[in-house]
Homo-oligomer: A and B are copies of this chain.
């Protein structure tokens, strides 16, 4: 069996070419109605000065999920399991391993996708000195293959809003239907009909549940007080909220 004999050859670490495994995180949040991604500025060669996704080596005795959560915590200055980071949604995106995606050596990376509510500017942590939230449409020319990773993450995020309640991961613990609609609009990049969206969200079992409260005051430019909701217990939306204007998948 081919795989078995290869495994055995690897028993001596020095007999095998050096490879490394990292995690990179596409961390998304909504700021000022815009979808933003967490980027760091590289301080060292190669590609010094270029922006990149936060990431780093997977450590010994650490799972991939743990490594991703640790990196996210380091770059945001927040500690996993503390405060708002407990509400961050984190899921594996996919892996990238083209032979020369890193010029120094063979580096495989496992990309993660994170949905975060609006977090403070990532200045608190020491490691986060060069980290910042950047609107996704301004996040170009990233280091390595991070443009492609970001694009994959965005597509995944847009698709996930359709059939999961993960949009609530971008909101605070309590939110109005309008806030939820603005999250969808920011991620999908298109406005949604307020009335239909409102009725539809409430018609999906388990998507949101009412708190019984309303906002303290109406909107900035007038309007009634909105009812407040929190995330429900649904794992999947049924029926789904499909994106409006998308070409048919014919090509």
Interface residues of A (CB under 8 A from B): 1-8, 10-11, 13-14, 16-22, 40-44, 54-58, 60-64, 71, 74, 92, 94-99, 102, 104-108, 110, 127, 129-130, 205-206, 232-238, 248-251
Contact = CB atoms under 8 A, between A and B. Distances in A.
B251 A233 contact: yes
Contacts of A43: 1, 4
Contact of A237 (B58, B102, B249): B249
A57 B99 contact: no
Contact of A248 (B8, B11, B19, B238): B238
A20 B21 CA distance: 9
Given A42-B4, A249-B206, A63 B98 contact: yes
20 contacts: A1-B40, A1-B41, A1-B42, A2-B56, A2-B127, A3-B40, A3-B56, A4-B44, A7-B44, A7-B104, A11-B104, A21-B21, A21-B97, A63-B97, A92-B95, A95-B95, A97-B110, A205-B250, A233-B251, A235-B250
A42 B5 CA distance: 10
Nearest to A246: B238
A19 to B, nearest CB: 6
Contacts of A74: 2
Given A1-B130, A206-B249, 12 more contacts: A3-B57, A3-B71, A4-B43, A7-B104, A10-B105, A11-B105, A58-B97, A61-B99, A64-B98, A108-B108, A233-B251, A234-B249
